Amino acid sequence: MLKLPAIYAENYRDWLPEMLDACLGTLKLAAVSFLLALVLGLVFAMCRTSSVGLLRAVSGAYVEIARGLPALVILYIVYFVPPQLMPDVALVALSGFSAAVIGLAIQGGAILAEVFRSGIEALHKGQTEAALSLGMTPAKAMAHIILPQAMRIVLPPVGNYAIGLLKDTAVCSLIAAPELMLRAKDLASSSFEPMAVFVLAAMLYFAMSYPLSLAVRLMEARLGRRG
């Protein structure tokens, strides 16, 4: 344990460029999944609050299942099952990156669907009616009344989801997606210094997630005050 500083001093010139490069892979993976999850979340939130019973039921089942499964299981299903089912179709033999993005987005979409749904439901319908009766156009009502309130409710949980997503990218190493943990595992076995390498990986994840969590806390404080 006390040898760590010495180990780092000796090796950082070899390790750091590799690990930082892998961090970019992690960030890329997280960013793409996040965007896809946002879209899926909005779509399924609409379904969840729809007046069509079938849409509500199906999206409800999707949300419950995708949230109740470990991310690892979802990733394995997305990565291993399609090639087995359709061995002749090259399209479904997803790369590690693609499978990771889709798998994380499937779970993220479910999580965000619930977040957006509570945001939508929390806004009293009377707000829209009041705005319209005051003579605002629907667009103005949306822009000045609904969306600002919805943002206040929704942004902190979305921010927290983003932090969780960044950490979940580590699991994608198990389906060979190009990110930090995968590189760390290789490096740990090739350098015979697992403790040093994994602690370095931990510090890099922390360096990526801590600014985000500070930003979320700042956002919560700012948004809370104006309420």
Least Å distance, CB 1 to another protein, is 5
Residues 62-101 contacting another protein, CB under 8 A:
64-65, 67-74, 76-77, 80-81, 84-85
3-state SS, residue 184? helix
Least Å distance, CB 69 to another protein, is 6
Interface stretch with another protein, choices 42-50, 89-97, 135-143, 187-195 (CB under 8 A): 187-195
Least Å distance, CB 217 to another protein, is 11
Distances (CA, A) of 203 to 45, 181, 198: 36, 12, 9
With a CB cutoff of 8 Å and minimum separation 6, the contacts of 4 are 195, 196, 199
Distances (CA, A) of 156 to 8, 48, 214, 222: 36, 21, 11, 11
Residues 140-179 contacting another protein, CB under 8 A:
163, 167-171, 173-174
CA dist 60 and 56 (Å) reads 6
**Residue entry with tokens 């509500």:** 56
Interface stretch with another protein, choices 35-43, 46-54, 60-68, 219-227 (CB under 8 A): 60-68
Residue 194 interacts with another protein (CB under 8 A): yes or no: yes
Tokens of 159: 């921010």
Q: Which of 212, 223, 97 is nearest to 165 (CA)?
A: 212
Tokens of 87: 């061995």
Among 1, 9, 54, 91, binds another protein (CB under 8 A): 1
Least Å distance, CB 119 to another protein, is 17
Whether residue 82 contacts residue 92, with contact meaning beta carbons closer than 8 Å, is answered with yes
Total binding residues for another protein by CB under 8 A? Answer: 41
Long-range interactions of 81-86: CB distance < 8 A, separation 24+: none
Q: Contact positions toward another protein, by CB under 8 A?
A: 1, 64-65, 67-74, 76-77, 80-81, 84-85, 163, 167-171, 173-174, 181, 184-185, 188, 193-195, 198-199, 201-202, 205-206, 209-210, 213
